[in-house]
Structure 1
Amino acid sequence: MPSTIRDVAKKAKVGIATVSRVLNNSPAVSDETRQRVLNAIDELNYKPNLIARQLSIGKTQTIGVILPYLTLPSYVERLRGIQSVLDESNYDLILFVAEIPSKRDTFFEKLADKSRADGLIIISLPPTDEQAERFIHENQPVVLVDAYHSRLSSIIVNDIQGGRLATKHLIELGHKKIAYISDYLNTPFYPSMQYRYKGYRKALEEEKIPYYQKYHLQGDRGRFYAQQMTRQLLNLKDPPTAIFAASDTHAIGALDVAQEVGIKVPDELSVIGYDGIRDAEYVNLTTIEQNLFESGVESASMLLTMLREKPSDVYKAELSIKLVIRNTTAPPPNPDNHNL
């Protein structure tokens, strides 16, 4: 028969309330008494009733993570960072995948209730003012990643600067016919795509290079759709000499098509990605690297700080980005003839 809290109290020669204080890490217990209780727990192999403990302390001991995709590499890497922090805490991780806006809205409404989770990390899903107000009203701690709201804590990178940095790298190599492929920009998900596009446009404008709509293609997320967009670009009468892909997944899709049709990268086509996923290194992809794992670590650490201190405080952190030059970018072919 499993040991009970009463058995632990009897063996440690303390009251049940004292055992409860030790289990809840209360400072109101002397070191000597705490050690005696811990020894009794160990000897009796006592396992507290999790549900009862949650009810007694008024917490779920869970952190909810809401994100639009589960299998894409950039999200997996962020989740690894989050889990690495929670592994060292008393909190469990629960995932909520919101692939469509209606699911996002449902999760935002239900999880604002603290009886569902003690805190939330929301990735690539910017809340509306009304949704942010509900989180605040319910006193639900929230950290946004790859999303922003002025009244909520967030971990961000400067994606406009990142888009500019990627495009400037191609321009400095001599490219003027630069395409941009991305997810759909007009979407409630992953606003970073639009910011990177703004950086792309900004770099072209700074260098007085005309923007051509034909060189900007957008579609559904994923490698397959990136392949479709790349085929469309390369079939143009005047195809681009370089492609800025809004994610490394898009960029790898572009590399697939270049290999398929016999176009040499980077001699005949330059490709730059964005994110710095592990596959980018494997394929020697030039990319804008943001530390995805670190963004997960920082978001979980920030949320745990809010839970320990003041959940209502708003924290902001901006992580660095950098250009990583590998083997998929080079000067354009026939540099004397690349003008539009």
Structure 2
Amino acid sequence: MWGKSQNAGLTNCWGCGIVSLYGNVSEFSVIHSIDWTVKKPAMPATIHDVAKLAGVGIGTVSSVLNNSRPVSEETRRKVLEAIEKLDFVPNPSGRRLSMGKTHTIAVIITYFTLASQFERLRGVMSVIAESDYDINLFAIETIPQRNKVFQTVPRRGRVDGLLIFSIHPTKEDLRRIRQQKIPVVLVEGYHPELSHIFLDDMAGARQAVEHLIGLGHQKIAYISDYLDDLFSSGFNRNRYMGYCQALEAAGLPVRPEYHRQGWHTRENGRQMALELLNLPDPPTAIFCFSDEFALGVLEAARDMNLRVPEDLSVVGYDDIELARFAQLTTVRQHLFESGVQGVELLFEAIENPDAPIKEIQLPTELVVRQTTAPPCR
């Protein structure tokens, strides 16, 4: 089943894991009735028809359309008159290919349904909407999907560049990319030989836990995605390290029973919080790998009739839109901006393939709202 929406420009093959987005999408009309009369459709004019009517070769028509080489004014006039008479509309894909570019970029992104990833993609689309580029989006959630995409997508003639979110390319991935000579930019990923945009997740996590320690909390738990998740690009482990560093610097123990790991859903956040809050010595504060987890923790607190922040302090990570509605204290990473800068950096690489590798670090910021306070016990 396929669907398309105007402006957003999103086309999705449900269940196949591949989504295509286009910079400019025309609105389609809904058919309310069916005309059963069989009519022979009018065939649109082709470049061959234009060449025949103008009495020139196909290459000459292409030169007029693309301004790729000088053509006499008389010949240009004949071609333009033929185009107008035949109501000829050039095929944009063919025209782009004839100019050596597809004007399409591939975006490879993990866990597309997460609010944080969708916000990054919104940043990408804000730039694409103002350009003449389209994008093919490849949303991957499994290792076989990842391998298939990296084996088939990086091919010159199919896309002009790759924008990769939250994945560290392997040596084999890099070999394929180099072989095809396709510009690549990583966002929340790293490779010393590729331009990339990153955040200091360790410092962001450390700042969140230091905030809780400063309020007087000593029993601080951490809820995270699986630390060995192959799609985490290391930021999962970095946030855990930041959590541990803050505790150790304050002379507090890192208690294994205060760490819970699970798949990245709000319901899992709720379940892991219930486990923590039912411990014989429960934590007074919970720091979460993401706002999604933190929202689940807030639900668990309500289930147990605990007041936030009086009985339990909660800190998230990302600052998604729902975090603002929930008045959640969180670590803000500039998700939208990372998408914007990622695609802008890729455009630079497409226009200048020999440009030096760039490394851009985006800041994190602790946003204190209404889910943290000094412990009451």
Per the TM superposition, whether the score is higher than 0.5 is yes
The answer (yes or no) to whether the contact 1:140–1:311 under 8 Å persists in 2 is no
The answer (yes or no) to whether the contact 1:141–1:312 under 8 Å persists in 2 is no
Unaligned runs of 5+ in 2: 1-42
In the other structure, the counterpart of 1:318 is: 361
The within-5 A match list for 1:120-135 is 120-135=162-177
In the other structure, the counterpart of 2:142 is: 100
In the other structure, the counterpart of 1:272 is: 315
One-letter amino acid of the structure 2 residue matched with residue 212 of structure 1: R
Structure 1 residue 197 and structure 2 residue 240: aligned?
Answer: yes
Give the secondary structure class of the aligned counterpart of 1:296: helix
C-alpha RMSD of the superposition: 3.0
The correspondence for 2:183, drawn from 108, 124, 141, is 141
Larger Cα-atom Rg = 2
Question: Is the alpha carbon distance of 1:10 and 1:323 closer, same or farther for their aligned partners in structure 2, counting shifts above 3 Å?
Answer: farther
The answer (yes or no) to whether the contact 1:136–1:312 under 8 Å persists in 2 is no
In the other structure, the counterpart of 2:372 is: 329
The answer (yes or no) to whether the contact 1:141–1:311 under 8 Å persists in 2 is no
1: CA distance, partners of 2:206 / 2:69: 52
Deviation at 1:6, TM superposition (A): 7.8
Residue range with higher mean Cα deviation, 47-56 or 90-99: 47-56
In the other structure, the counterpart of 1:337 is: none
Structure 1 residue 241 and structure 2 residue 284: aligned?
Answer: yes
Give the secondary structure class of the aligned counterpart of 1:180: strand
Give the secondary structure class of the aligned counterpart of 1:303: helix
Structure 1 residue 72 and structure 2 residue 114: aligned?
Answer: yes
Deviation at 1:115, TM superposition (A): 3.0
Residue range with higher mean Cα deviation, 110-119 or 173-182: 110-119
1:105-133 CA distances to partner (integer Å, 9 max, x unpaired)?
11112122223321111111211223223
2: CA distance, partners of 1:27 / 1:293: 41
The correspondence for 1:63, drawn from 101, 105, 127, is 105
Question: Is the alpha carbon distance of 1:178 and 1:46 closer, same or farther for their aligned partners in structure 2, counting shifts above 3 Å?
Answer: farther
Question: Is the alpha carbon distance of 1:75 and 1:235 closer, same or farther for their aligned partners in structure 2, counting shifts above 3 Å?
Answer: same
In the other structure, the counterpart of 2:202 is: 160
1: CA distance, partners of 2:199 / 2:85: 50
Q: How many residues align?
A: 331
Question: Is the alpha carbon distance of 1:28 and 1:120 closer, same or farther for their aligned partners in structure 2, counting shifts above 3 Å?
Answer: farther
Residue range with higher mean Cα deviation, 92-101 or 112-121: 112-121
One-letter amino acid of the structure 1 residue matched with residue 291 of structure 2: D
Give the secondary structure class of the aligned counterpart of 1:317: strand
Question: Is the alpha carbon distance of 1:72 and 1:55 closer, same or farther for their aligned partners in structure 2, counting shifts above 3 Å?
Answer: same
Structure 1 residue 307 and structure 2 residue 350: aligned?
Answer: yes
Give the secondary structure class of the aligned counterpart of 2:230: coil
Task: Provide TM-score, normalisation by structure 1.
Answer: 0.87
2: CA distance, partners of 1:289 / 1:44: 56
Question: Is the alpha carbon distance of 1:226 and 1:55 closer, same or farther for their aligned partners in structure 2, counting shifts above 3 Å?
Answer: same
Question: Is the alpha carbon distance of 1:260 and 1:113 closer, same or farther for their aligned partners in structure 2, counting shifts above 3 Å?
Answer: same
Deviation at 1:61, TM superposition (A): 2.2
Question: Is the alpha carbon distance of 1:53 and 1:232 closer, same or farther for their aligned partners in structure 2, counting shifts above 3 Å?
Answer: same
2: CA distance, partners of 1:43 / 1:267: 77
The answer (yes or no) to whether the contact 2:97–2:157 under 8 Å persists in 1 is no
Residue range with higher mean Cα deviation, 248-257 or 309-318: 309-318
The answer (yes or no) to whether the contact 1:126–1:188 under 8 Å persists in 2 is no
2: CA distance, partners of 1:23 / 1:209: 71
Deviation at 1:175, TM superposition (A): 0.7
1:11-61 CA distances to partner (integer Å, 9 max, x unpaired)?
99x9976874675576989xxxx9xx9999899865321332243223332
1: CA distance, partners of 2:284 / 2:85: 70
1:82-119 CA distances to partner (integer Å, 9 max, x unpaired)?
01111122211111121111211111121222233211
The correspondence for 1:283, drawn from 314, 326, 333, is 326
2: CA distance, partners of 1:242 / 1:91: 46
More helix by share: 1
Question: Is the alpha carbon distance of 1:137 and 1:4 closer, same or farther for their aligned partners in structure 2, counting shifts above 3 Å?
Answer: closer
The answer (yes or no) to whether the contact 2:140–2:146 under 8 Å persists in 1 is yes
The answer (yes or no) to whether the contact 1:110–1:116 under 8 Å persists in 2 is no
2: CA distance, partners of 1:178 / 1:45: 70
Residue range with higher mean Cα deviation, 311-320 or 64-73: 311-320
The correspondence for 1:261, drawn from 294, 299, 304, is 304
Residue range with higher mean Cα deviation, 128-137 or 159-168: 128-137
